[in-house]
Amino acid sequence: MSEKIDVVAHLHAAPGHEAVVREALESFVAPTRKEEGCLRYDLFQDVADPLKFTFIEEWTSPAALEAHSKSAHIAAGRAKMEGKLSAPGWVQVVKQIL
């Protein structure tokens, strides 16, 4: 059985901080796509509410996702966003069944 997992991660910028949050999130994309185990890593912005951002991700395994969460570029981006989100991010790790 495949260990592949998918992730949906939602982040909500605090009003007035959407540019900083977007810049930090965009900085994750290129280095993450080069990480071992990354199959998909796409960033979206809500059409109706530009304060809301979503990542859709695919990873070869939970271990690959865990390594990603500890990467230097993710830590740097999180530091840039500190105090600039309206709430903690909401992350859902799922496994495709069909």
pLDDT in tens, 59-96: 999 999 999 999 999 999 999 999 999 999 999 999 99
pLDDT at position 1 over 80: no
pTM above 0.85, yes or no: yes
pLDDT at position 2 over 80: no
d(C-alpha 94, C-alpha 91), whole Å: 10
Query: Mind listing the domains of the chain with CATH numbers?
Result: 5-94 (3.30.70.100)
Q: With pLDDT > 70 as the criterion, what percentage of the chain qualifies?
A: 99
